[in-house]
A and B are shown apart, each in its own frame.
Chain A
């Protein structure tokens, strides 16, 4: 685990330069925006109801809320896995329903909560599979692919694991490998569903520091998080959800207040400032 800030996107590594598409307008509207988004798995029960939120570009957005409140559903709607029954999702100002699949795959990546590990696969081979959207039937291992995979493995500190069987890794190592796979996809936008849930505390912090570094490099991060203190410490923007609706969105200090937490989670608590960082710390009472 390293606390130091690693080098920013090193020169001579164009493979990892986040792509800037035509629709990109840095500094303006959010990277991802939901407008009046309503989504239901089945017709009878809407899991998202009229959600209008925005994910700031270049920020680390945490989605919080009680179990079953629609956090994962919002992530799936953001990545076009669930079609909205009304409303829409905008990616850099364009309706994602109209974006070509191949282009979408080069602009956003998703790390699901749990992913199956193919039998007998080794770390580097797994990370290489993230290059799919950049490859074709002919070009399956260009120099760009090679650079992107090497860079993704360097950022996540999994180079020394490259020849290990993924099955034999610890939870924290494995999570770094999955993030490396997402990074190899080389998208400006990274979405992660509960990336810290199955990890011990040290590995949780390690994973969040990695995401923080990636944000500092210019990527936009969206993660579903359960731990409010972690959200407070690492996120730059928080979306609080309850029963399929977005209750509030804003900076951590605005969202993580005693009243708001009582409203979202039905939990009485006291919020104090972290003595070192000044970020909110939630103490259940």
Chain B
């Protein structure tokens, strides 16, 4: 009947679902396969043996340059960023109790874009200035949405509605800027706004990855409390979970995960929205908030999406943001059809 068994070592005890563990392993294998494909395919296809050899000392200089310096940070970056977006989506969807309550819907990406446009307008250039603009824009937007939605406690549905309104407002401000700006500024804004992994190098991946690991340390603490909030706030509070502070921390962690990605890549839609949802469909027997599943699914989606972005058109490479928007649209339509047929 049950595929779960207790694991107890000293003071440590957990109920482990072997089925979930097996699915996680399959997703990890799939992700590694996609990363290896990303390392191998390109303008110069490099066979797998040479890809692996490139990481060893004494490898051929050109292989080393292409695989280790160019392709590896991009592929690993896609995995890390996809995981961050997946977890962020799972957090916001749990908070709003709504599958559409993802960070891109409630305006965090739009706000980050506004931040970058402000940096461009102020004459800022370079990766660090853009990242600072994106993080500041995302955080300010989140704070604005949180405060506007807060009324005797934070309600999920209000958060979505207020988020959509704020997002629409910022979006028109962004359009106004791009129209008013000179051609050079508008172009730089548009390039960032498309969301791309082009030109990702080790320093960006390592700093974003380190930040992600620090933020992820809060997740085990948060997950226990989220599983109580899911059963209703009064019940959670009587069981000893301070509902409003926990929700505020949840928002903060979700915003951190989104903005550390957006700062590097620009807005990448759909991953945060779909990863938790797809993960739940794959696992089927898992309910509620599940950070591991959402993270692994997000990683697989973004690494896969970037492979498509690089190789879908024979001559040029697309920004991955454009691919995820297309995939997301197709997924949503398919979902609406199947849900419709079921009901």
Contacts and interface: CB of A to CB of B under 8 A. Distances in A.
Interface of A: 76, 79-81, 101-102, 104-105, 108-112, 114-116, 118-122, 124-126, 128-130, 132-133, 135, 137-143, 145-146, 162-163, 181, 185
A128 B4 CA distance: 13
Contacts of B2: 124, 162-163
Contacts of A101: 240, 242
B127 to A, nearest CB: 37
B234 A110 contact: yes
Contacts of B14: 140-141
A117 to B, nearest CB: 8
Contacts of B8: 141-143
B238 interface: yes
B287 A104 contact: no
B156 to A, nearest CB: 11
Nearest to B234: A112
Interface string B267-291: 0000000000000100011111000
Given A119-B287, A139-B12, A163-B2, A133 B239 contact: yes
Interface in B1-58: 1-2, 6-8, 11-15
B13 A141 contact: yes
Contact of A115 (B221, B235, B280): B235
B239 A140 contact: no
Given A104-B240, A140-B14, A119 B288 contact: yes
A140 B288 contact: no
18 contacts: A81-B237, A81-B238, A109-B238, A110-B234, A111-B235, A112-B232, A112-B234, A116-B97, A116-B231, A120-B280, A121-B287, A121-B288, A128-B15, A129-B231, A132-B239, A132-B241, A140-B14, A140-B224
B314 interface: no
A153 to B, nearest CB: 13
B227 interface: yes
B228 interface: yes
Cβ-closest 6 pairs across A and B: A105-B240, A121-B287, A120-B287, A141-B15, A110-B238, A118-B288
Interface residues of B, number: 33
Given A121-B287, A125-B287, A185 B239 contact: yes
A194 to B, nearest CB: 13
B240 A133 contact: yes
A132 B11 contact: no
Nearest to B7: A141
B238 A108 contact: yes
B224 A135 contact: yes
Nearest to B225: A132
Given A125-B287, A142-B8, A162 B228 contact: no
A118 B234 contact: no
A143 B11 CA distance: 11
B124 to A, nearest CB: 42
A102 B228 CA distance: 14
A99 to B, nearest CB: 11
Contacts of B6: 141, 146
A142 B8 CA distance: 7
Given A112-B232, A115-B235, 18 more contacts: A79-B234, A80-B238, A81-B237, A81-B238, A105-B239, A110-B238, A112-B235, A116-B97, A116-B230, A120-B287, A129-B231, A137-B220, A137-B221, A138-B12, A141-B6, A141-B7, A141-B8, A146-B6
Contacts of B232: 112, 114-116
A116 B240 CA distance: 18
A119 B231 CA distance: 11
Contact of B11 (A79, A118, A138, A145): A138
Contacts of A141: 6-8, 13-15
B280 A138 contact: no
Nearest to A128: B15
A80 B240 CA distance: 11
Nearest to A72: B234
A80 B286 CA distance: 32
A162 B235 CA distance: 21
Contacts of A140: 13-15, 224
A97 to B, nearest CB: 14
B321 to A, nearest CB: 29
B273 to A, nearest CB: 16
A39 to B, nearest CB: 15
B220 to A, nearest CB: 6
A135 B223 CA distance: 13
B1 A163 contact: yes
B300 to A, nearest CB: 21
A101 B1 CA distance: 36
B92 to A, nearest CB: 15
A138 B238 contact: no
A115 B285 CA distance: 21
B11 A139 contact: yes
Contacts of B12: 138-139
